[in-house]
A = this chain, B = another copy of it.
Amino acid sequence: MRKVTIKDVAESAGVSKATVSKVLNQRYDVNGETAERVQRAIAALGFVKDRRAVQLAQGRSDSVGLIVPSSTDEWMIEVLRGAMQEAQAARFTIAVQTFPEGVADTDRLVADLRGRAFDGVLVVQPRDHLPWLPDLQAAGIPVTVLDDHGTNPGITAFVPDESTGIEEAVSHLVGLGRESFALLSGPNEERTRYTSEKRLALYRAALLARGFVLDDAHVVPAEYSLAGGEAGVAHLLKRGVRFDALIASSDAMAVGAMRALKAAGLVVPRAVSVVGFDDFPAANYTDPRLTTVHNPLFDMSARAVRGLIASITGKVRQEAAREIVRTHLIVRDSTGPAINQGG
């Protein structure tokens, strides 16, 4: 039994393909009786529209491509969630693709994108400048980037404003009576330097604004990982650096730091208060639960996809905007009053 097409339905119902199409698409210029006959034929034959044919005919693919870094980190799930929430509402599909590795891979992806495999594209955390983004846009394919490093000007972007969360964090720590700060910065790698230095500079400024100088001896570069955090704190301790507040540039680092502090007999949050960055899912499962700056990935992603869909469906010519999304501190249990205040 061959695949049943709209043509079969038409013949079976004694009408033309056009009429069937109209019935299928709920057009109101069809006689009630005819419509019924068509419906019966559809049911009898078990007909279903071929999506691909519809897509070609309508010039849409009802999907948004989500290009993610190949190292799908835990936080990716937040991005996906946000994207799916919006996609579902608009009956779009989220097509996940991982970032291309080499030149050949890149060319293929770009060809797919320009070939309109998707109606719009959301690029998550591009490390570098992506020269093909403007081309896509010029080709009329809406593109948005999430959390880039400012390396793709002219492309609509949603980026977190880390300063608000950092201000809150510093204000929180200072309010708690903390007086000497140490900071675990990101690793000295090309790829991560931008984020890393930005966060450091913001912390430094926020502290300075409150009269605290964060000198270089109190800053140690570390990997964005649990092990990195452990090593970082061990390093600080070994050098005899004193601090009652520790700021980590990622949550995993913060957890490692808490482990190292505990190993050294320093109680978190009393002896040392710790704040992380990102608010990863595990932040609620650490002991103590982690106070951290929430990176609003879900929101950014949802807003980005909503915007993309709007410019896909509404034909609203997307205009390059840079949406800055505020970050906030989530206070949990890894921060608390200073020892001499607690009573």
Chain A residues at the B interface, C-beta cutoff of 8 Å: 48-56, 59, 61-63, 65, 72, 74, 76-77, 80-81, 84, 88, 91, 93-98, 108, 111-112, 114-117, 226, 252, 255, 258-259, 262, 281-282, 284-287
Chain B nearest CB, measured from A82 CB (Å): 10
Chain B nearest CB, measured from A50 CB (Å): 5
Selected A-B contacts with CB under 8 Å, 23 pairs: A48-B111, A48-B114, A49-B111, A49-B115, A50-B56, A51-B116, A52-B52, A52-B55, A52-B56, A52-B61, A62-B117, A72-B80, A74-B74, A80-B80, A84-B96, A93-B95, A93-B97, A94-B95, A94-B96, A96-B96, A252-B285, A285-B286, A287-B287
* B residues near A97, Cβ cutoff 8 Å: 88, 93
The 6 closest A-B pairs by CB, nearest first: A282-B282, A51-B117, A287-B287, A51-B115, A282-B285, A48-B114
Q: How far is the CA of A49 from the CA of B56 in the complex (A)?
A: 13
Q: How far is the CA of A108 from the CA of B108 in the complex (A)?
A: 32
Would B115 and A48 count as touching, CB distance under 8 A? yes
Q: How far is the CA of A259 from the CA of B84 in the complex (A)?
A: 33
* B residues near A80, Cβ cutoff 8 Å: 72, 76-77, 80, 96
Q: How far is the CA of A54 from the CA of B117 in the complex (A)?
A: 10
* B residues near A287, Cβ cutoff 8 Å: 258-259, 262, 286-287
